[in-house]
Chains A and B, each alone.
Chain A
Amino acid sequence: MLVATVLIPNFAFHVERNRSLNILTSPFLIVERHPKHLTVMDFTPGLPVQVGMKIEKALAKIPKVRLIDADILYYEKTWHEFLDIFQLYSSSIESERLGLAYVDLFDQSQISAEDLSSFISKKQQLSCSLPIQIGIGKNKYLAYIAARRAKPGEPVIAPSNVKDFLAPTSIDYLPISPKSHSALKEFGLLTLGDITHYPIGPMQAQFGNEGRLIWNLAHGNDSRPITNRIQREVITEKMSFASPIDILTTIMVAVEVLLKRIFTHPQRRGRGVMQIDLQANTEKERWTKNIVFRPAQETWTKCLRIIERKLERESFPGGLEDLQIIASELTKELGHQKSLFSNHRKKEQLGELIKTLEVQLGPKPHLWQVREIEPWSRIPERRMALIPFVP
């Protein structure tokens, strides 16, 4: 196995700066909105903040920094378009997060890091502005550390002497929980070299399964497979307004036109839409609204009614200069024929419901199922258990 790691630190920052045609010269924070708070999603390199930091804390450190709303869909689209260029080399590409991907090179010993690097710079138009770091190694972790050491345009290949290569690496680059990170530091284990002085037993005893992973990674062993990326299927329609509009009835007309376009799009082909994102640039700031449909909607008329109800309660930051609707989470083709087998239909409905939850709660919501284990047992805790639900 030969793996190439593609690393673009501060990916969202670079994408945002490219989008603004390099007008954004002063430092800025990209802010992600959560139901009850705002967090830092990305930032201008060098600022004393961290990803995930609450915005209040970040602003206490840098009071006069510019804030930009995160446009996750746009970053994801740009990221996947960028990764598409690797399809020529490999069909197996894992996207761990924005700015970090693993490409399985399937033992292609004829490929050199230089080949890959020159290939990227020729093929993709963004390479001139994105600081792409490439590392190649025999497994994901070696390739990742190599990429961390690489400079843009100067790929690094992990040498065969893995121990010396990894020894000076900080434990900050281990893919483990923050709790284990701080515990390792408390034990005085600051580099991977420090970890290799200990046998696997004490590491497992102290950190459980993570201890095994830590020990193996520190020795350059990584058996984690490359999991193919799942690309979100989206349909995007956009409209610009001659003058900013802020009257709901006018906005709804624009929404109607865009929805009609989406629902007649060949990509939809009779499938249901589970999520709609409305985005607009206003005179003041970017406005976004996420709407999840439950169940999935098959007609634009129903979608329009739901959106109208939601927008009636919405306050816009200013007149809309444009409007973009992004339909995502398309279901499988929906049929209306009733099934003779009600259980089968229930299972399908459950599947759809789970998909809705995934949209609302994230890619892997914790779903549990109550399962009878020993219903006859006289000991109550033996009778039933919660098990992870597998649809």
Chain B
Amino acid sequence: MVKNTGTPYGLNTFRPLNIPEPCNVQMGKHDKPQIITKKHGKSLSVLSIKDTWRVDDEWWTNHPISRQYYTILLENLSRTTIFIDRIGGGWYEQGL
């Protein structure tokens, strides 16, 4: 993952969309996400996993990408997509 430089967005800033936001995920039975704690500190339990897939890319570079994505339905009935960075570790929430 490329770290956020902390540069404030200005008129001359190029701003990628859908940047992953770090989050905490507690794993439940069968190694599946059970509770997600978002960036702002709110914890929500996972009702069901709607989809899961894996992305392995740029393995030929110095910064390979390997992510396991989950589309999950939360207790407030919202859908969100999270992934675990299989190389650097850590969970992230990401808009698609």
Q: What is A's interface to B at a CB cutoff of 8 Å?
A: 364, 366, 368, 370, 373, 378-388
* B14 pairs with A380, CB closer than 8 A: no
Contact in complex: B16, A381 (CB < 8 Å):
yes
A385 to B18, CA, bound (A): 8
Q: Flag if A380 contacts B12 (CB, 8 Å).
A: no
The bracket for how many chain B residues form the interface is: 10 to 19
Q: Is the CB of A386 within 8 A of B17?
A: yes
Q: Give A133 to B46 CA distance when docked, in angstroms.
A: 68
Which of these, B12, B14, B65, contacts A379 with CB under 8 Å? B65
The residues in B between 40 and 96 inclusive whose CB is less than 8 angstroms from any CB of A are: 55, 57, 65, 94-96
Q: What are 20 A-B contacts defined by CB distance under 8 Å?
A: A366-B9, A366-B11, A368-B15, A370-B17, A373-B16, A378-B57, A379-B55, A379-B65, A380-B18, A380-B94, A380-B96, A381-B17, A381-B94, A382-B16, A383-B17, A384-B18, A386-B16, A386-B17, A387-B15, A388-B12
Question: Which of B17, B20, B55 makes the CB contact (< 8 A) with A385?
Answer: B17
A379 touches B16 (CB 8 A): no
Q: Contact: A383 with B18, CB < 8 Å? A: yes
In the bound complex, residues from chain A placing their C-beta under 8 Å from that of B15 are 368, 385-387
Complex interface: chain A residues within 8 A of B9 (CB) = 366
How distant is the Cα of A382 from the Cα of B17 in the complex, in angstroms?
8
Chain B residues whose C-beta falls within 8 Å of the C-beta of A378 in the assembled complex: 55, 57
The answer to whether B19 has its CB under 8 Å from any CB of chain A is: yes
Expressed in whole angstroms, the Cα–Cα distance for A378 and B64 within the complex equals 13
What total count of A-B pairs have CB within 8 Å? 41
Within the assembled complex, what's the spacing in Å between the Cα atoms of A368 and B16?
Answer: 12
Bound Cα distance from A364 to B55, whole angstroms:
40
B68 to chain A, nearest CB (A): 13
Q: Give the interface of B toward A (CB within 8 A).
A: 9-20, 55, 57, 65, 94-96
Chain B CB count within 10 A is highest, among A364, A381, A384, A387, for A381
Closest 6 CB pairs of A and B: A386-B15, A384-B17, A380-B18, A385-B16, A381-B16, A381-B18
Select one of A364, A366, A384 contacting B16, CB under 8 A: A384
B15 to chain A: closest residue by CB: A386
> A380 and B11 in contact (CB under 8 A), knowing A370-B17, A385-B17, A386-B17?
no
Residues of the A chain whose Cβ atoms lie less than 8 Å from the Cβ of B14: 385-387
Is B17 a contact of A364 with CB atoms below 8 Å? no
Considering residues A364, A373, A379, A384, which has the most beta carbons from chain B within 10 angstroms of its beta carbon?
A: A379
Q: Provide the bound-state CA to CA distance between A384 and B55, in Å.
A: 18
Residues of A within 8 Å of B20, CB to CB, are: 381
Whole-angstrom distance between the alpha carbons of A386 and B15 in the complex? Answer: 5
Contacts of A373 in B (CB 8 A): 16
Name which residue of chain B comes closest to A177, CB basis: B8
Q: A381-B17, A388-B11 are in contact. List 6 more A-B contacts (CB 8 A).
A: A373-B16, A378-B55, A380-B96, A384-B18, A387-B14, A388-B13
Residue of B11, B55, B96 with most partner-chain A CB within 10 A: B11
A-side contacts of B12, CB under 8 Å? 388
CA distance A366 to B9 in the complex (A): 10
Q: How far is the CB of B67 from chain A (nearest CB, A)?
A: 8
Say which residue of B10, B13, B19, B57 sits within 8 Å of A381 (CB atoms): B19
Is the CB–CB distance between B57 and A380 below 8 Å?
Answer: no
Across-interface contacts of B55 in A (CB, < 8 A): 378-379
Minimal Cβ-Cβ distance residue in B for A373: B16
User: In the complex, what distance in Å separates the CA atom of A189 from the CA atom of B43?
Assistant: 46
- State in angstroms the CA–CA spacing of A381 and B93 once bound together: 12
Q: Which of B17, B57, B96 has the most CB of A within 10 A?
A: B17
Closest Cβ of chain B to A216, distance in Å, is: 19
Which chain B residues border A379 with CB–CB below 8 Å? 55, 57, 65
